[in-house]
Amino acid sequence: MPPTITDQTTYRDHCAEGVTDQPLDEALKNAFGWTQYPGHGPGGELLGNPATALELGSGRGDAIAALASKGITATGLDISPTQCQKARARWSHLPKAHFEHGDVLDYLASADGHWDAIYSIWGAVWFTNPEVLLPLIHDRLTPDGGLVFSHAPPVPGAYGVQGTYAAGLTGRQVWLYRWSYEPATWATTLETYGFTKVDATIEPAPIPRHVGTLLARACKGTESPCRRLIKGEHGVEH
């Protein structure tokens, strides 16, 4: 009988064991899938031209590897030690790719460094209380840095913290919380915590009436321009 899963770390480790990795060249090519539809939507250009980057919820580390392969010093953070171990083994040949295991709030609160870009692809920004997370992200950005994240849009009329059983309604009792808001509410929330030049939108699905993707970009609120987030094919100029 498999062990009972009672916490999110063990659950995410369990999920990580079932992942089939793409070949390295394919993983780099497909690394920045901000949406849930392969090959659809914007890519790495949303991050602009950072010298350093931090991913919150880096999984297998493909996006970190893609940045590192371009000479960017990139750090991936994940709550699953299994994901971190696999990412390190998979991308150890890239000297600018670094992978850390830890809780996002603990890590940001104790970090010494700052990053030009902090981002989350269906990761920690969706699963962490923004009232606690956003000030920590703001503090850890360089003066001209920026934040980019994506996740599912909210179900109409159901906003704020959402609870779900991660293993299903007939599975083990492991729950996750997600914070879901409309783009306008995300924009107001980001501005409340010092971010400027916010661009929060819904990227339409490639098939009409299918679920889209919430995409948000924001700059650190300083007098200097947000030079690290530049105009991309699918973005607005910052």
The pLDDT tens digits of the residues spanning 49-106 come to 999 999 999 999 999 999 999 999 999 999 999 999 999 999 999 999 999 999 999 9
pLDDT for res 173: 80
Dihedral of the CA atoms 232, 235, 236, 237 (nearest 10)? -30
Domains for the chain: give ranges and CATH numbers. 8-13+29-153+182-220 (3.40.50.150)
- Angstrom distances, CA of residue 190 to CA of 57, 71, 133, 143: 20, 29, 11, 16
Quick one: DSSP state of residue 203? E
Q: Cβ(55)–Cβ(120) under 8 Å?
A: yes
The pLDDT tens digits of the residues spanning 133-186 come to 999 999 999 999 999 999 999 999 999 999 888 777 887 788 889 999 999 999
pTM of the model: 0.87
* Residue written as token pair 């996002």: 104
Contacts of 130 (CB under 8 A, 6+ apart): 179, 189, 193
54, HSE (Cβ side, Cα atoms, 13 Å): 26
- Give the distance, in angstroms, between the CA of residue 83 and the centroid of all CA atoms in the same chain: 15
